[in-house]
Homo-oligomer: A and B are copies of this chain.
Amino acid sequence: MDTYSIRHEIGIKTPPGAVYQALTDTKKLAGWWTSDTRGEGSRVGGVLEFWFGEYCKKFAVVELQQDTLVRWKALKNDAPDEWDETEIAFSLRAGEKQCYVHFSHSGWRRDDGMLPHCSTKWAVFLLSLKDLLEKGVGHPAPNDVQVNHD
């Protein structure tokens, strides 16, 4: 079956180690995606929960390569969700002036549902990660940049 991916890339003026920490340390994760982040992101097999009010996105950490790669797999919730069994990967590459972060959210079974909205929101959150690491303050939910009026 064809699947679809969201891809993004940003460059952050910080060493890969700092980016890796912001993707694996629960407190740092809470600084850029959602303030209510729970669980354990620093070991393979750990489960991370990202809460948005009453709604939770839950992942298993499936691969970690120190300062290079972080991979999560979305776990099923009680209700079916387009994210079920999709995968998120952050790939880090040190450049001359910055650490490049290549992001992918792959395994979407359709591209005409939530994918376009989530693509825009991932850009917003990756820029929040960039701000956290470059300016010391991110914009995690519920203080994230809104892309629509719901």
Say whether B119 contacts A147, CB under 8 Å.
no
Residues of the B chain whose Cβ atoms lie less than 8 Å from the Cβ of A100: 148
Q: Which of A1-41 contact B (CB under 8 A)?
A: 4-11, 13
Residues in B whose Cβ lies below 8 Å from that of A97: 149-150
Chain B minimum-CB-distance residue to A111: B7
- Check: A61 CB closer than 8 A to any chain B CB: no
**Bitwise interface map of A from 123 to 135 toward B, beta carbon under 8 Å scored 1, else 0:** 1101100100000
Majority DSSP secondary structure for residues of A touching B: mixed
How many A residues are at the interface, by size bracket?
20 to 34
How long is the Cα–Cα vector from A11 to B117 in the complex, in angstroms?
Answer: 9
Cβ contact within 8 Å between A116 and B103: yes
Pairwise interchain contact B11-A119, C-beta atoms closer than 8 A: no
Q: Say yes or no for A56: interface residue by CB 8 A criterion.
A: no
Chain B residue nearest to A115 (CB atoms) is B7
Whether B147 and A11, one on each chain, are in contact in the complex, defined by CB atoms closer than 8 angstroms, is yes
Q: Which of A9, A98, A103 has the most CB of B within 10 A?
A: A9
CB atoms of B111 and A119 under 8 A apart: no
Q: Could you tell me if B98 and A11 are in contact, using CB atoms closer than 8 angstroms?
A: no
A145 within 8 A of B: yes
Interface contacts beyond A9-B147, A123-B124: sample of 14 additional A-B pairs, CB < 8 Å, sorted by A: A5-B111, A7-B116, A8-B120, A10-B148, A11-B148, A11-B149, A100-B148, A102-B116, A120-B123, A120-B126, A123-B123, A124-B127, A127-B145, A127-B147
